[in-house]
Structure formats: C-alpha cells, structure tokens
Amino acid sequence: MSVDQDTDQDRGSGQLSMHDDWFASGWSSYLPQYQAMLLCMFFGTAAVRGLRGTIDEVLEQHFDGEHGPYFGRVGGSLDAPVAWTDPESLEYAGTEEERNRLRADAEEHQARCEQLLRTAGLPVPTTIRELADTMLAVGIATRHGDAWSMPDRLPGPETVLALTDDERAEIVNRRRLWERGPEEQALTDYLVDGLSRPAEVFTSVDRLAKATGMAEDDLRRALGRLIHQGDARIERGPGRERTALDDLKGHERFHLVLDWEHFEENGITVEPVR
C-alpha cells in the first residue's frame, strides 16, 4: 500500500516512513545496519511526502533544521563515520572477553562487506553521506532532478554482490519471514475495508478466521505477524491483560487492539515516480 503525500502542516513533524521491503531485502546484512536503515527511512519519507532537493535540503525541510538527533546514535550529521556495529551492543556484553569477541566479529564482517562492494565496483562508504551514495548506486533509491523515488521491490544484495550460495539461501529465508503473504493481506483487507480501521475488535481466532475466509492456522500466522511488527496486541479478561496468541484456544474471545499510526509509519510501500 502507499501513503498520500503530507500537507504543509505535516512537514517538519519529524514523522518518518519506512519502505516495507527494507527488512526483507537483505541489505541490512551487507551495509552498516543502523545507519542504512535510517537512510532508507529518509529516502522513503522524501519519496512519499514529495520533499525535493539534495539530502541536506530535504533534511532541513523535514526536521526544520533540527536533524542532528536523527543521527544522534552515530554522531549527529551526514558526515559522521559509518558504524558497522551498534556501540550500544558492547554495553550489554557481560565481560571484556565478550566485548573483544563482538569487536572482532564486527571487524571481520566489515572487511567482508567492504570487499564485496569493491569487487562489484561500488563505493565503499566511510561516512553516512557516502553510505547514501552507495545506497543510491545499488538502486535502493533514485533521485530524478530534485525528486526522490524508491522502487516497489528493492533490488536485493544478491543482484549486485558476489554472494555465496549459503548467503543467497539466507536471504531467501529472510524474505519468507518478512514478506507479506496472501493471508496477511486478507487480514489487513478485512480490518481496513470490512471494519474501517477499528481501534479494537472483540473476537476469537475461529470467528476471525471465518470472517477472513482463512483456515485457523493461516489466520494465526497472519495475526502473529501483525503482533510481531507492533501493529496490534491481544488483551483478555476484565482487567484487559496482555496475552500471547499461542495461549489462546480457537473459541476464546479477546480484544484485538490495533495501532494504525504504527501500521502506517512502518508498513508502507513507496510508490515509484512514473
């Protein structure tokens, strides 16, 4: 699905859009993970909201000149160095030995990814700005004049990098987990078109399966994905206690609470410029 362009009032709000193919694409395994995700959100926001200009100009428009916190985790500007591992992950390491192992793994991973980029004739990024250039070079986003766009389906790393058979198989498995299947689409269509985006629905697994025309197992998978993505939660009982989907029998009633704002901001597909 797509989100309409925003109004002048929305611009500068700091609200961001994420292309729903990013996690399935596999690029987070071959680019500086956190910064590449931030840039993907930047590209998606520029495309959906019709923001125009260079990266610097679009950041200035969207954040009203206060875009430092957007890159706060990694230095506060486009010219900050890329980080192939999240510094916060080292803080959770229990021992110095574990921290050293994490650093060594990160250095090995960085060397492997940089070599893959060089072999493909692609720029090896040292700053976030250069990382944006790399992402543009592989077709994750495109700038036509001063307008930004993204394809419906992002080109995966296997289309440009010399990956091993095992790495290609891992990407295939990742996409099976992330891509929206027909069951998820049926559930979303029912909630959007059939129920007009309710704040919550009092139902049961068997009732919801019947309403969407799905087998209960398929409905559970679709509903589980919705919950896993943070778009919904299940509550039960007088006290409205949060409940796991696996704990519910088919006939047991529950409140399905929907977070449509989260759904829109994190599950969009950016429309390409025709």
State how far the Cα of 110 lies from the Cα of 213, in Å rounded to an integer: 47
Evaluate if residue 269 carries a pLDDT over 90.
Answer: no
Q: What are the tens digits of pLDDT across the range 122-164?
A: 999 999 999 999 999 999 999 999 999 999 899 999 999 999 9
The reply to whether 15 falls in a domain is: no
Domain boundary among 122, 153, 178: 178
246 occurs within a structural domain: yes
> pLDDT tens for residues 194-236?
899 899 999 999 999 999 999 999 999 899 988 987 889 999 9
How many CB atoms lie under 10 A from the CB of residue 172? Answer: 11
Q: What is the pTM of this model?
A: 0.65
**What mean pLDDT value characterizes the chain?**
83
Q: Do 162 and 192 fall into the same domain?
A: no
Domain-ending residue, one of 143, 178, 213: 178
Report pLDDT for 201: 94
In the block, tokens 């700053």 appear at 127
Domain housing 251: 182-266
Q: Are residues 120 and 64 in the same domain?
A: yes
Tally the domains of the chain.
Answer: 2
- Tell me whether residue 12 is in a domain: no
Give the whole-angstrom CA distance, residue 154 versus residue 21: 6
Asked if residue 238 is part of any domain, the answer here is yes
Decide if 6 is inside a domain: no
